[in-house]
Amino acid sequence: MSATINHFLNLATPGIQALQPYLPGKPVAELEREYGITDAVKLASNENPFGPSPLALAAAREVLEDLSRYPEGSGWLLAGRLAGLHALERDSVTLGNGSNDVLDIIARVFLTPAHEAVFSQYAFAVYPIAVQAAGAKARIAPAHDGSKGPAYGHDLDAMYALVGPDTRLVFIANPNNPTGTWLESNALEAFISSLPAHVMVVLDEAYFEYVDKPGYPDASAWLQRFPNLIVTRTFSKAYGLAGLRVGYALSHPDVADLLNRVRQPFNVNMVAQAAALAALDDSEYLQHVVQRNREGMQQLLAGFGGLGLQYIESAGNFVAVETGRGLQRYEALLQRGVIVRPIANYGMPDHLRVTVGRADENARLLAALEQVLT
């Protein structure tokens, strides 16, 4: 059988036939194996560089002896805790194997080949993947060019113009990955209010805990007013549990009922549930992470400024910096043991997305970047 021909391609659904899979950031072990180097630094996947909460680690270890048992299928304790945190009922919560899992569930519930989904240019890569996998049509609104709003940011007017009778989902990341741009409360509320009842709006708040910007909203507080709103969150970023994959959606109970019909019963394992519960108890750890991220962001921005590089102001734990010839700069940084994220696949070939790391990691990136640029 030829290695270049997939004889099963025609058996797949049309959406899957043309789908390109999501490519994560290069792992450290892979880089070190390929280039024969050691002590590589990864600033590519918007991970928390400070590790998980000590309370989360202890809770995870405590349940290891029970690994022969299935996890609690409904995630009763975690769902209840999250509901209480957001002043909602337990039946408003849908747990996911990371928030990506929840995004995929939402697409499967609301999209068919007869439907459309709207999202912005430069939006998170999982949105087009989930839409195409469902066989639906993606309607992509051009982002701001800088004349009427922040360059690369969501243009809500342009997005609204694409909403039609076949639209079922609108995806908005706030703040957005990979640009770091964000939307303020008044504009976002007005946009949601203007949508017709047959359109569900998904607010992806994966980086919520990091944001310290005037006017930035907590959209979970809007669920009583907007029954067509779904808010997604994750423990993979500020909470430092990316390796355990825990995310969730908050929505009207009737919407959550539909999502939970599709959700796999054991999609969040018992170690992840235990660690997530404990992480919610460690507010001191979370405050420490957020403060260190602010310091690291300032370190990076000062360094970019010193190198004469332009960047997009970011509300997350990452920043898109314009280096020119992004893929070439990326490869050159790899040779120096520094992994960042090229974002040419987002239509931004001159930018690299850099995760805010520890102070020593940031310094390593800046020193390598100076070498690459000269």
Q: What is the pLDDT of residue 347?
A: 94
Whole-angstrom distance, CA of residue 126 vs CA of residue 141: 16
- Short-list 213, 226, 129, CA closest to 174: 213
Whole-angstrom distance, CA of residue 82 vs CA of residue 234: 11
Q: How far apart are the first and last CA of the chain?
A: 48
Cβ-based neighbours of 147, under 8 Å, separated by 6 or more: none
The pair of three-digit structure tokens given for residue 127, joined into one six-digit string: 């949105």
The pair of three-digit structure tokens given for residue 177, joined into one six-digit string: 């990955």
The pair of three-digit structure tokens given for residue 68, joined into one six-digit string: 């022969």
Q: SS3 sequence, the chain?
A: CCCCCCCCHHHCCHHHHCCCCCCCCCCHHHHHHHHCCCCCEECCCCCCCCCCCHHHHHHHHHCHHHCCCCCCCCCHHHHHHHHHHCCCCHHHEEEECCHHHHHHHHHHHHCCCCCEEEEECCCCCHHHHHHHHCCCEEEEECCCCCCCCCCCCCCHHHHHHCCCCCEEEEEEECCCCCCCCCCCHHHHHHHHHHCCCCCEEEEECCCHHHCCCCCCCCHHHHCCCCCCEEEEEECCCCCCCCCCCCEEEEECHHHHHHHHHHCCCCCCCHHHHHHHHHHHHCHHHHHHHHHHHHHHHHHHHHHHHHCCCEECCCCCCEEEEECCCHHHHHHHHHHCCEECEECHHHCCCCEEEEECCCHHHHHHHHHHHHHHHC
- Short-list 98, 145, 141, CA closest to 276: 98
Whole-angstrom distance, CA of residue 278 vs CA of residue 272: 10
- What is the per-residue burial (b if ≥16 Cβ within 10 Å, else e) of 42-69? bbbbbbbbbebbebbbebbeebeeeeee
**CA distances for 314 relative to 60, 207, 293, angstroms:** 32, 11, 12
- Strand order across the beta sheet in which 310-311 lies: 310-311, 318-322, 351-355, 341-342
Cβ-based neighbours of 346, under 8 Å, separated by 6 or more: 122, 125, 178
Taking the CA atoms of 178, 183, 189 and 195 in sequence, report the sign of the dihedral they define. Answer: negative
**CA distances for 4 relative to 9, 19, 87, 135, angstroms:** 12, 17, 53, 25
Give phi and psi for 234, each to the nearest 5: -145, 155
Q: What is the pLDDT of residue 188?
A: 97
Per-residue pLDDT of the chain (374 residues; tens, 9 = 90+): 445 677 787 888 877 877 777 667 777 778 778 878 888 899 999 999 999 999 999 999 999 999 999 999 899 999 999 999 999 999 999 999 999 999 999 999 999 999 999 999 999 999 999 999 999 999 999 999 999 889 999 999 999 999 999 999 999 999 999 999 999 999 999 999 999 999 999 999 999 999 999 999 999 999 999 999 999 999 999 999 999 999 999 999 999 999 999 999 899 999 999 999 999 999 999 999 999 999 999 999 999 999 999 999 999 999 999 999 989 999 999 999 999 999 999 999 999 999 999 999 999 999 999 999 98
Taking the CA atoms of 27, 30, 31 and 36 in sequence, report the sign of the dihedral they define. Answer: positive
Q: What is the pLDDT of residue 3?
A: 56
All domains of the chain in start order, with CATH: 9-51+284-373 (3.90.1150.10), 54-281 (3.40.640.10)
Whole-angstrom distance, CA of residue 92 vs CA of residue 231: 10
